[in-house]
Amino acid sequence: MKEQKGTTIFSIPMKNRKTNTWDMFATWVGANANNGTWFVGGVLAACGFAVAMKVLVLSSALSYVFLSLVGYIGYKTGVSTMTLSRASFGERGSYLPSLVNITQFIGWTAVNTFIAAQSVSILFHDLLGWPVWGQHGGYLGLIVGIIIMSVLHIISVSSGSRSVQMIERLGIILVLVFVIWESVAVFRTVAFSQIVNWHVPAQSKMAVGAAVDYVAAFNLAWVTAGADFTRFTAKEKNATLTPFLGALLGVVWFAFIGLISTISIAISSGVYNANNSDPSTIASKLGLGVVALLVIILTSMTANAVNLLAAGSALSNIFTKLKLKYSLWIVVLLATVVTFIPMFVGSFLSAFESFLDYVGMVLGPTIAIICTDFYFRAHRQYDVAELGKVGGKYWYRGGVNWVAIIVFAIGVAFFLGVHQLPIFVNTIGATFIDMCLSGILYYGIMLLVDRKEDELCY
């Protein structure tokens, strides 16, 4: 037996958990009260209003069931999601889901930053006459906008979870005012009945299954951050029901605003263009002015504070001696670099859709394995004291649970192989099927491995 040594895992004790119901609710509403959610709603306009709303509600609700499941594990153990992944993937194997989390949350930060930077670009156009993004010479305003947003992000995460909590409290008020304002502007332009009855141009129509996968990818992104926040609450319902309701309300509410705004622009202009679905463009076309653009910039901070904290926690799981503060600075710098990518690929929408495919591909198997391990294999009981130990209970072989790694690879390959097949594209999508397959496969193989090990012990 190897000596049990390694990194000490610190679990948040119940007496030190201060997050109340309002703060938890505001965190998860604020997580979806952002530019990316509006943009997703605008992209869903390609399904038509009725289909888009059905997909939005059902796919989101199913995704956030997993948020509640992971939220409970955080409450139960007091450790972050990526630290929890050590129990299923192994001490060293957990680097894989940590890398997945780092890349996807940096990606989401970049998405929100790019949209907010467009608002900055428009502000500079209005104030200084600079060309906006999309016009000749429009790079300058966008580049300055990205730099400004990156500085604001460093400020927003300067004190870790506490500064995130303060940003969310302020942000939830601002976005509440803005969505009401934008809704009024939309319905002054077109009637709700016109929006409901609007028909998508045939060449732009999105299949139902593709929409399910996009919405699932968007929502599942928050699941791997669930325990990072629920470990700070002392109430079980606050770790399960509150995140579910807050995140669901946030995504349905703000995607709805993006949906009706995009359709209203299509009706009033006579042209539907999914590239015009971002809130900066919509606010400009609706004539909402400078204040609206400033609110978009600030609401980017509310979502990205959560994104960056989750990415920083994942980085700290890999480099355990790296303080969270420095991890946060690193991921802010990485996100800044990634934000420039859409400037070189030609279309922000194309980059966004490719990113959603990546998120759905890697997160589905990851979440399925973590939840299956805790609820079915470990029967809701992890030995937190064993987490971080070399040669401990969760060391497996050389620190890696190769079953989890192999199942993850199979899940990724399955998604890549089937997500564009008509049977999935036109029906229920591939994401949730992939998650079911990964969970069943992981449980079945681990059951055989555990039995074999028990037999060897005898």
For residue 300, is pLDDT > 80? no
The tens digit of pLDDT for each residue in 165-216 reads: 565 566 667 667 777 777 777 777 788 899 999 998 888 899 999 999 999 9
For residue 6, is pLDDT > 60? no
- The burial class, CB within 10 Å (0-12 / 13-18 / 19+), for 359 is buried
| Per-residue confidence band for 276, with pLDDT thresholds at 50, 70 and 90 | low
Average pLDDT over residues 276-302: 67
For residue 281, is pLDDT > 70? no
Average pLDDT over residues 319-327: 79
Query: Which amino acid would we find at residue 428?
Result: I
Residue, of 448 and 3, whose pLDDT is higher: 448
Give the H or E element holding residue 283: helix 279-285
Average pLDDT score, the chain: 84
CA dihedral 233, 385, 158, 247 (to 10 degrees): -40
Model pLDDT, residue 2: 40
The tens digit of pLDDT for each residue in 151-167 reads: 877 776 665 555 555 65
Residue, of 141 and 98, whose pLDDT is higher: 98
Residue, of 290 and 183, whose pLDDT is higher: 183
Cα distances (Å, whole numbers) of residue 4 to 91, 92, 168, 450: 12, 15, 41, 21
Q: Are 44 and 57 in contact (CB under 8 A)?
A: no
Model pLDDT, residue 159: 56
Cα–Cα distance, 49 to 29 (Å, whole number)? 23
Model pLDDT, residue 1: 35
Model pLDDT, residue 101: 87
Give the H or E element holding residue 208: helix 208-223
Share of the chain above pLDDT 70, in %: 86
Share of the chain above pLDDT 90, in %: 39
Model pLDDT, residue 7: 57
Model pLDDT, residue 355: 87
The tens digit of pLDDT for each residue in 342-369 reads: 877 766 777 888 888 899 999 999 999 9
- List phi, psi (to 5°) of 346: 95, -40
Model pLDDT, residue 162: 57
Chain-centroid distance of CA 90 in Å reads 24
Residues paired with 397 in a beta bridge = 400
For residue 134, is pLDDT > 80? no
For residue 285, is pLDDT > 70? no
Name the residue with tokens 């976005």: 175
Mutual orientation of helices 208-223 and 431-457 as an angle, nearest 10°?
Answer: 50
Q: Are 39 and 352 in contact (CB under 8 A)?
A: yes
Residue, of 158 and 336, whose pLDDT is higher: 336
Model pLDDT, residue 14: 84
Mutual orientation of helices 348-372 and 81-89 as an angle, nearest 10°?
Answer: 60
